[in-house]
Structure 1
Amino acid sequence: MKIKNLVFDMGNVLIHYNAMHYVEKYAKNKEDWPLLLHEVFQSVEWIRMDHGTITEAEAVEACCKRLPPRLHSIAAQLYAHWNEDIPPMEGMEELIGRAKAAGYGIYLLSNTSVRYHNFRKNIAALRYFDGEFISADWHLMKPSPSIFRAFCLHFGLNPAECLFVDDQPMNAYGAQCAGMDSIIFYGDMPQFEAALAAHGIQLSAAQEGTV
């Protein structure tokens, strides 16, 4: 069946997301970096925020119970400010603009917390999107096939007509289990465009001066 819709993940697809970069930015003592990485970004609370079952304030409180007092303010800063440093993935906005011009539906399907609604305005590529589906809003998460089914039901899309793009193989597999084809994005735009072409995605030609 012909692909009519492109469905994009956010972190490390639309934008760069590097948890260790944030830790290094806010914590000056290198010895603290592994602990902060594990207890903030790799914590159960971080997952629960993405699932929409815990507030950010509750996550900070739980995290700080596991950290020494000297790191409490740093942990709070990480929760509050990580999204201020989310540079766009080079070339992705331009490619999405071409896909939109070629007539494809463009959608977002991302595991992220409700904080997304505060920083989405900083992701320029979203101006091309026809719809956004955020895990915390629906209490569903990738790679569970249920989130992909709910996404398609919400937007009235046929999963067989959707191509999902994610940087994580387990999420790409989850999409496949729900009837979507998928591509793993490795950060290489020429490789990605070739993968799209292999799936029959015909993009409009790039125009000089466009973004």
Structure 2
Amino acid sequence: MLKNIVLDFGNVIMNWSPDQILNHYELTPKEHDILKDNIFGSKEWPQIDAGRLTEQEAEKIFLQRVPENLQEKTKQIMATWPENVDFYEPMFLTIEAWRKQGLKIYGLSNTGMQFANFVKNSGFGDYFDGYVFSAEEKLLKPDERIYQKLIDRYELDPKECVFVDDLKENTQAAEKLGMYGFTFKIDQLGQLRQFVVEHS
């Protein structure tokens, strides 16, 4: 019987789109492309998620790389980008309904601590009963050890959990540990709701 819903963040509770994030800043198309490549498309960005670099350390590298006229924009983006992510309101309405039914909601995401702390310290944090973040654990999905951290920390029975992620390799890793896996896009929210009904 399903008691716990474990959610990835990117493309599950919010739209992970560097282009849409950068559209919140006043940039020419050329500046947009330069900053997208040098920040979100950089080799350092996955290292932030992996906990090998902090955002502050990565920012210093980005500032050395971008043209001088884009250094202030780089600082602005690094300081504020989590505020400019588009969250999926229908997902949060669904989470609210699940919580009223007594289901527990957990976050398990490959993300740096800046975004993790933004979620935890904003109103979005009220929707979750606990989290595991890759940067904090220095482990990335689909490494099975990151799922085990969640199971151990919150004393969960894997058979009572569904893990929802936009990447199949990540849901398959959860299934290996005995969880249900649901590979998700926001247009499948109705199917996810139905899945939860059928397994609760």
Q: Which amino acid aligns with 2:179?
A: M
2:177 aligns with: 178
2:195 aligns with: 195
2:24 alignment partner, SS class = helix
1:33 alignment partner, SS class = helix
Superposed displacement of residue 163, structure 1: 0.3
1:106 aligns with: 105
Change (3 A) 1:19 1:96: same
Superposed displacement of residue 191, structure 1: 3.0
Q: Which moved more, 1:95-104 or 1:140-149?
A: 95-104
Q: Tell me, in whole angstroms, the C-alpha distance in 1 between the residues paired with 2:4 and 2:191.
A: 19
- 1:113-132 aligned at under 5 Å gives the runs 113-115=112-114, 116-124=116-124, 126-132=125-131
Q: Tell me, in whole angstroms, the C-alpha distance in 2 between the residues paired with 1:118 and 1:25.
A: 17
Superposed displacement of residue 167, structure 1: 1.9
Change (3 A) 1:105 1:11: same
CA contact (8 A) 1:3 1:161 kept: yes
TM-score for both structures, normalised by structure 2: 0.87
The total of aligned residue pairs comes to 198
CA contact (8 A) 1:24 1:30 kept: no
1:207 aligns with: none
Q: Tell me, in whole angstroms, the C-alpha distance in 2 between the residues paired with 1:59 and 1:27.
A: 22
Ranges of 4+ aligned residues in structure 1 off by more than 4 Å? none
2:57 alignment partner, SS class = helix
CA contact (8 A) 2:24 2:84 kept: no
1:88 aligns with: 87
Identity %: 31
- 1:156-175 aligned at under 5 Å gives the runs 156-175=155-174
1:140 alignment partner, SS class = coil
The structure that is helix-richer by fraction is: 2
Q: Tell me, in whole angstroms, the C-alpha distance in 2 between the residues paired with 1:118 and 1:128.
A: 13
Change (3 A) 1:27 1:175: farther
TM-score for both structures, normalised by structure 1: 0.83
5+ residue gaps, structure 1, are 202-211
Superposed displacement of residue 123, structure 1: 4.2
RMSD: 2.1
Q: Tell me, in whole angstroms, the C-alpha distance in 2 between the residues paired with 1:119 and 1:180.
A: 24
Q: Tell me, in whole angstroms, the C-alpha distance in 1 between the residues paired with 2:73 and 2:172.
A: 36
1:41 aligns with: 40
2:19 aligns with: 20
Q: Tell me, in whole angstroms, the C-alpha distance in 2 between the residues paired with 1:142 and 1:34.
A: 28
CA contact (8 A) 2:49 2:135 kept: yes
Superposed displacement of residue 173, structure 1: 2.3
Q: Tell me, in whole angstroms, the C-alpha distance in 1 between the residues paired with 2:13 and 2:54.
A: 25
